[in-house]
Amino acid sequence: MSANQPTRQALLDDYARFVSPAQVARLRALGHDFIESRREGPDVYDQDGRQYLDCYSSAGIYNLGRRQPELLAELRQAMRETDQGNFPMISREKARLAAALAAFVPGALECTMFSVVRGEAFDFACKLARGYTRRPELIAPEGSWFGQTGFAVSLSTRADKRDFAPLVPETKIIPFGDAAAARAAIGPRTAAVFLEPRQTENHCRPASADYLRALRRLCTETGVLLVLDETQTGLGRTGKRFAFEHAGIEPDVLIIGEALGAGVFPIAATLFTPAINKFMNAHPLIHLSTFGGSDLGCRIGARALEIYAAVAPWENAAALGRSLQEKLQTIAARHSRLIESIAGDGLLYSLAFAGPAEAEAFCRRLAAHGVLAVPGKVATNTVVLRPNLTIGQAEADRLLQAVEKAAAGV
């Protein structure tokens, strides 16, 4: 670091003073109290040049790696040619990305509303469900984590959400994986059922194919919308383009999170069927997002989809994930007094420990061995591993070596 640059401690002190001392303390507890400096491919580097394999990926945003070169080139070119655009206006960029999404996503999900972040995309899906069905009730299974906005917090499982009370009314939490409970909960006031095909923040708990199929049938029978949030599983992480493909179903509404912009520009999307779009057509401009679907964001999103289609990272996630899962299970068996279980598939895994303190300590040890990972937000006794989807065997070996050393307490 050059002499005229602020030191690590000075930056931490400024952050603690002007943003959040509690956040600095939390990062220190995880071994993450460093300054993100260079970022490239699978790795991030601290202010001293120390290399970390990024297995946080900003909660799964960096599916294509940090600073993906083709996307950076597209951003530079887009900045020469356009800007954010007028958000209610039509542009080539908006039309191009909407058409590309309709072609990329399986099934009849042809219509799009753009957002900036996951929570905004989720909240729009809630508004859309209520508007289209003319029913108020929204249902989600326990263990979900949908983001930080109003509807998302109300339908998530988090101990602190009562601090924001009163929450959005007419929201209901039901048992996870229980089709009979879902049938009993759904009534004439129910607009939609929301769920994640894999509850990433809850020890990567999967919704079984049977459960997803049962929900699909039940929603069809009752006129209730099935909304899937694939923010952390979509665009290849579980070995398919989207996790719902494993069950052979199609949702009525699909939420695609910030991985659409691959960490180069913030953009997310909510996709839905032409039948549901009748509500939007009857109420034009009923929902707007100032920066959702910005022309710059759409340029990046469209180029990212081209890269996703060309690279097919879901194939790498499936192939490399099988080997990674087997070797993680072997490590867990060798250290069974510490690691209680392993869950996940593709390139999304969770390690469970006795409690939150053990998970936190494991993150510190991983950081000491060059891997960046964080505890789950719902199952706080877990550590989630979500590297980018283009890693190779060398990066997988680095991850496995760090997990082995962290488990051994080295």
What is 10-67+312-408's CATH topology?
Aspartate Aminotransferase, domain 1 (3.90.1150)
- Written as six digits, the tokens of 305 are 């989809």
Looking at the chain, the whole-number percentage of residues with pLDDT higher than 90 is: 97
- Residue 142 to residues 107, 175, 256: CA-CA distances in angstroms? 28, 6, 21
Query: What's residue 166's pLDDT?
Result: 93
Query: What's residue 331's pLDDT?
Result: 98
| Long-range CB pairs of 280-285, under 8 A, 24+ apart, other chains included | 280/111, 280/113, 280/128, 283/131, 285/88
Give the burial string for 46-64 (b: 16+ CB within 10 Å, else e): bbeeeebbbbbbebbbbbb
Q: How many residues does the chain have?
A: 410
Residue 3, pLDDT above cutoff 70: no
Q: Which of 261, 264, 190 is nearest to 227 (CA)?
A: 190
pLDDT digits (tens, 9 = 90+) for 14-41: 999 999 999 999 999 999 999 999 999 9
Say if residues 162 and 156 touch (Cβ distance below 8 Å). no
pLDDT digits (tens, 9 = 90+) for 182-212: 999 999 999 999 999 999 999 999 999 999 9
Domain ranges of the chain: 10-67+312-408, 82-311
For helices 92-104 and 295-311, angle between their N-to-C axes, nearest 10 degrees: 30
Confidence class for position 410, pLDDT limits 50, 70, 90: low
Query: What's residue 115's pLDDT?
Result: 97
Strand ranges of the sheet holding 190-195, from the earlier edge strand across to the other edge: 111-115, 268-272, 253-256, 225-229, 190-195, 137-141, 171-174
CATH number of 82-311: 3.40.640.10
Residue 123, pLDDT above cutoff 60: yes
Question: What would the mean pLDDT of 242-253 be, rounded to a whole number?
Answer: 98
| Paired strand residues for 190 | 137
Question: What would the mean pLDDT of 102-107 be, rounded to a whole number?
Answer: 97
For helices 8-18 and 21-29, angle between their N-to-C axes, nearest 10 degrees: 130
The pTM of the full predicted model, rounded to 2 decimals, is: 0.96
Spatial separation of the C-alpha atoms in residues 21 and 109, rounded to whole Å: 44
Tell me what the pLDDT averaged over the chain comes to. Answer: 96
